[in-house]
Structure 1
Amino acid sequence: MTSSDRAVPGRRRRIAVASLTGLAVLAGAGLLGAEAWYQRRFETPLRLHREALAANVDAYCAEEAALGADPWFHEGRTEGDAGLLLNAWLPWSRDLKRPPPEGSPLVLPDSLREGALDLKQGRWLTANIDVSRLDFDWMVRLLAYDRWDLFNGSPLSAEGRFNWAAGDVPDLFLLQRWAKFRMLHGLRTGHPVEAAQQVRHLAWLSLRTDSLVGGSLAVNLLDIERLAHEAMPSPPAGWTPMPAEQTARMNALLQAAPQFAGLAAPPDVARKARGCATEANRCIALTETAFLARLLEPVVEPVGAPSLEEATAALDRALADAGCPTLAAHEVRTRGVTVEDPASGMSSLASSVAWIPWAPGRQARSHLARGVLASALGDLTPLHGNRTKHPAPLQGQAGLPTP
């Protein structure tokens, strides 16, 4: 064997080592590039969001105190759950196109249904419609209750997991429509205060579903009462609807509560926000935060700052001590879908990181969890009468349309 022959294996080894080194450098550069993209796309919004929450939590608490002082929150109510009634009376679906069940008192004549009559933007006050034959006794029955548990005798009561964000929901628009007819009937018959009492109570029951969509309906129902009051040249003495300033504050705080008390909030901010909120807003925030905690449960790792694992543990402690009157937060936390469930729409993504072992797997799962959390942030809701100091960069949530 010549010296040149002996040199070939060594040269091949050097070429192989150089090639592997080059690939490692390229892979490292790729990983660094991917990490830089992740930091820019997700961690930066999370950091800015945390800073905004910390800068505005005192203003949030001041607004909660102003809302909680409204007399509506302190009206006397009889303890009881209206869930068995309302959950049975309302149609449940994803597209809100089902009619009420047969025998429900919420069935409307064809001429008064959504497709036949546009009552938006206050047009219901001047609509040439006959509401004299409608039976509002079902509203009177609801006066005997102070909450509406969506998990009592409803499709959500069934065993198994459910998607809180995209599953079947009760048709709350139907209740909004009935409230307009009730106020119109009260105005025409000379009994607006009686009608207002029933609509205000329906608003309270909607709020005490401890859900964001129920809270949005409550705001709209209170606005309907106020619009009826403003339509009267001389409203009865003693009838005082919630002012527009307060319903605007209520709507802003409904959106803000899950942000200030959410998993993305600094631990001290979340704790303070839960402590200063009205009971209803605290329970709504817990329900909406429980949805994300349950969704991300399989991919939460003790990685990142602040740790989602710590935030989830703090949430569970808050849930145990909250004393919310409905099962909403508890059921969402224990039976909601996770990223591993096909119904979440993220099961393929979750399975792609589930198998990765050790530290790389923990980091991949943490990136997935924090990426989902960052994508769900939304803009920091401007608090009524205050400008947010550090608005977050993403779009927020919308409630029900204005009546």
Structure 2
Amino acid sequence: MKSSDRATPGRSRRIATVSVAGLVVLTGACLVGVEAWFQRKSESPLRLHREQLAANVDAYCAQEAALGADPWFHEGRTEGDAGLLLNAWLPWSRDLKRPPPEGSPLVLPEALREEALDLKQGRWLTANIDVSRLDFDWMVRLLAYDRWDLFNGSPLSAGARFNWVAGEVPDLFLLQRWAKFRMLQGLRTGHPLEAAQQVRHLAWLSLRTDSLAGGSLAVNLLDIERLAHASLASPPADWTPMSAEQTARMNALLLTAPRFAGLAAPPDVARQARGCATQANRCLALTETAFHARLLEPFADASLEEATAALDRDLSRAGCPTLAANEIRTRGVALRDPDSGMSAGASAVAWIPGPPGRWLRSRMAWSVLASALEDLPPLDENKMKQPERFHGQASTPTP
């Protein structure tokens, strides 16, 4: 055997050692780069977010108390779920372009549909349209219920995984349109108080979907009622719509409640915020937080697991009247599910074993949370100008 042949194994081992060392150095450099990127893009915004929440949680609770004192939250209502009715009457889709199902009382004449008639910015109050032939009995039927469970007899109750933020949803804009027609009919027939009662109740049912979209619809419906009230020179003395200041406060709290109660909040802040909120906002915040908890669960590190455990404890004793938060928590999509929209990136790091894999997965989870952060709306500047009075078609008989 030649000496060069005997030296070959030694050289091979040295080459292999150098290659492995180079790979380790390269991997380490990549991890350092990823960590630097994470600190800049995610950790710094998350830290600032936590500081803002901690500094403002007392102000948030004060605003929740002011909102909860409004008489609308304490009106008498009959216990029951309107979900079986509304979920069947409304069209469900991803793009909100489906018509209501055949036989639904929410089918509108072509002349009154959105594509034929623009009613935005208060134009509905002065529109020269005939609403006298519309049947509003369906709104009367809803007075027998005090909540609207989106998971009762809907596409969401099928039992499969679903994406809460990008799946099929009911066309809530259709309800907003009907509310305008109902108030317009009440104004024209001289019975605005009866119409207002039905629109206010529809707003309550929308809020008690325990969803952000439903809460936003509730604010819009209460604004519609107030605009109708403001259109009358002498409205009925016993008609008191929610003030513009209160609906502005309600809208701001809808946006901030999920942030104060969310997984990215400091644990003591989340606990305080969930405890001081109105029940409606508490359940809404739990619903939105449950989406992130389920989405990130397989990639959560110890701190996220602790926040998720606290969420589950609060959810178990919150007494929310709908299934929304619990269904999302158990059947919502996770990062690796195709419907999450992030499955490719999640799958790419899911196979990496040991500490590097756990580190990358936790960084991905926190980056997803950081990407959803937005500035907090001012909690002490909720006052809005009162709308100007409208005159014209709203207070005249139907032609």
Among 334, 339, 343, the residue aligned to 1:343: 339
Name structure 2 gaps, 5 residues minimum: 383-399
Give 1:44 shift: 1.1
Give distance in 1, aligned partners of 2:342 and 2:5.
57
Q: 2:323 aligns with which of 327, 330, 334?
A: 327
Question: What's 1:398 paired with?
Answer: none
2:378 to 370, 376, 382: 382
User: Matched residue of 1:220: which SS?
Assistant: helix
CA distance in structure 1 between the aligned counterparts of 2:60 and 2:40, rounded to whole angstroms: 28
Q: 1:83 touches 1:153 (CA, 8 Å); kept in 2?
A: yes
Q: What residue is the counterpart of 2:389 in the other structure? A: none
1:370 to 361, 366, 369: 366
Question: Alpha-carbon deviation of 1:21?
Answer: 4.9
**In the TM superposition, what are the counterparts of 1:235-314 in structure 2 within 5 Å?**
235-302=235-302, 307-314=303-310
Does residue 88 (structure 1) correspond to residue 84 (structure 2)? The answer is no
CA apart distance, 1:22: 5.5
Contact 1:89 1:104 in 2 (8 A): yes
Matched residue type, 1:174: L
Q: How does 1:3-402 map to 2 (within 5 A)?
A: 21=21, 24-302=24-302, 307-385=303-381
1:361 offset after TM fit, Å? 1.5
SS class of match (1:102): coil
Find the aligned partners of 1:130 and 1:186 in 2 and give their Cα distance: 13
Deviations 1:268-321 (A, max 9, x none): 00000000000000000000000110111111122xxxx101000000001100
Q: 2:102 & 2:4 partners in 1: Cα distance?
A: 94
SS of residue in 1 equivalent to 2:144: coil
Aligned residue in 1 for 2:394: none
Taking the aligned partners of 1:115 and 1:5, their CA distance within structure 2 comes to: 84
1:18-59 CA deviation, whole Å, 9 max, x = no partner? 676565444433321221111111111111111110010000
Contact conserved, 1:147 with 1:209, CA < 8 A, in 2?
yes
Superposed CA offset, 1:194-217 (max 9, x none):
000000000000000000000000
Letter in 1 for 2:126: T
1:68-91, Cα deviation, whole Å (9 max, x unpaired): 000000000010110111111111
Q: Note if contact 1:340-1:347 (Cα within 8 Å) is conserved in structure 2.
A: yes
Three-state SS of the structure 1 residue aligned to 2:317 is: helix
Whether the 8 Å CA contact 1:258–1:284 is kept in 2: the answer is yes
Q: 1:20, 1:358 → 2: CA distance?
A: 18
- In the other structure, the counterpart of 1:389 is none
Q: Distance in 2 between matches of 1:5 and 1:137?
A: 96
- Structure 2 length normalisation: TM-score? 0.91
- Report the alpha carbon displacement of residue 381 of structure 1 after superposing the two structures with TM: 2.6
Q: Is 1:295–1:338's contact at 8 Å kept on the other side of the alignment?
A: yes
1:261 maps to amino acid: A
- Between 69-78 and 359-368, the greater mean CA deviation after superposition: 359-368
Is the 8 Å Cα contact of residues 252 and 384 (structure 1) preserved in structure 2?
no
Structure 1: any 5+ residue segments left out of the alignment?
387-403
Q: For the structure 1 residues 15 and 172, does the alpha-carbon distance in structure 2 shift closer, same or farther, using more than 3 Å as the test?
A: closer
Q: 2:387 corresponds to which residue?
A: none
**How far apart in 2 are the matches of 1:300 and 1:190?**
58
1: CA distance between counterparts of 2:9 and 2:337? 53
Match for 1:316: what amino acid? Answer: D
Q: What CA deviation, in whole Å up to 9, does each residue of 1:330-378 have, x standing for no partner?
A: 1011111111110111112121121111211111111111111111122
Cα separation, partners in 2 of 1:168 and 1:4, compared to 1, 3 Å: closer
Per the alignment, in what secondary structure is the counterpart of residue 102 of structure 2? Answer: coil
Cα distance in structure 2, aligned partners of 1:108 and 1:89: 12
Compared CA separation, residues 357 and 28, structure 1 to 2 (3 A): closer
Cα distance change, pair 12–175 in 1 and its aligned pair in 2 (3 A)? closer
Please report how far the alpha carbon of residue 105 of structure 1 lies from its aligned counterpart in structure 2 after TM superposition: 0.7
**What amino acid is the match of 2:105?**
P
Change (3 A) 1:352 1:26: closer
TM-score after normalising by structure 1? 0.90
Q: 2-side partners of 1:171 and 1:41: how far apart? A: 36
Q: Where does residue 396 of structure 1 map in the other structure?
A: none
User: 2: distance between equivalents of 1:166 and 1:10?
Assistant: 59
Q: State the secondary structure of the residue aligned to 2:336.
A: coil
Distance in 2 between residues matched to 1:104 and 1:15, nearest whole Å: 75
CA RMSD of aligned residues (A): 2.1
Aligned to 2:88, the other structure's residue is in SS state helix
Contact 1:248 1:384 in 2 (8 A): no
Aligned length: 382
Whole-angstrom CA distance in 2 between matches of 1:14 and 1:78: 81
Q: Which amino acid aligns with 2:333?
A: V
